[in-house]
Structure 1
Amino acid sequence: MAKKSLIQREKKREKSKQKYQAFRKYLKEEMSETLSIDKKWEIQKQLQSLPRNSTPTCIHRRCFLTGRPRANYRDFNLSRHIPREMIHACLLFGVTKASW
């Protein structure tokens, strides 16, 4: 189980991302449309003035149940441990453990 503070930090980053997402998109569109270098510098300064945690790249996927930040399946939003435990407990039908 992940520390509660790390999970809360990720939630705070997600809120910050949602808050500044539209403005960031607007600035990036403006930058792609303008031809003036001076105007692009101004837009770049505005982008840099936004909070660092509001960037989409700062956000990590975490397991829905355990909060584990690594080895997550995107489709299920679970870490690799959870489906494995479910298979061993016979909760997922039709799945067998591979052995060779």
Structure 2
Amino acid sequence: MAKKSVIARQKKREATVAKFAEKRAALKEAGDYAALSQLPRNASPVRLKNRCQLTGRPKGYMRYFGLGRVMFRDMALAGKIPGVKKASW
């Protein structure tokens, strides 16, 4: 599991991106790059990192499920993800 501080930092970035999304879009539309550079750096969506919703793991992220590969496997084997089952042929 990722450190609590890293997960908290990510949540804070997500909130900042959501807060400034409208303002960023308006400034980009107007082409006012000087004012755009005055916004907080964490307001840019590029600074977000996809992380597992349960553990905060940054690598092995499966976008469709919002989980890391380890938690996805555990939940799939336990039958907690509908429509997913172990392949066998």
Which sections of structure 1, spanning at least 5 residues, go unmatched?
Answer: 32-42
> Which residue does 2:85 correspond to in 1?
95
- Pairs aligned (count): 87
In the superposition, the TM-score normalised over structure 2's length comes to 0.84
Change (3 A) 1:62 1:94: closer
Q: Compute the RMSD of aligned alpha carbons.
A: 1.9
Of Structure 1 and Structure 2, the greater helix share is in 1
What is the alpha-carbon distance in structure 1 between the residues aligned to residue 64 and residue 27 of structure 2? 31
Contact 2:77–2:85 (CA<8 Å) still a contact in 1?
A: no
Structure 1: 4+ residue segments shifted above 3 A:
86-89
Which sections of structure 2, spanning at least 5 residues, go unmatched?
Answer: none
Q: Does 2:59 correspond to 1:54?
A: no
Structure of higher CA gyration radius: 1
In the superposition, the TM-score normalised over structure 1's length comes to 0.76
Q: Does 2:89 correspond to 1:86?
A: no
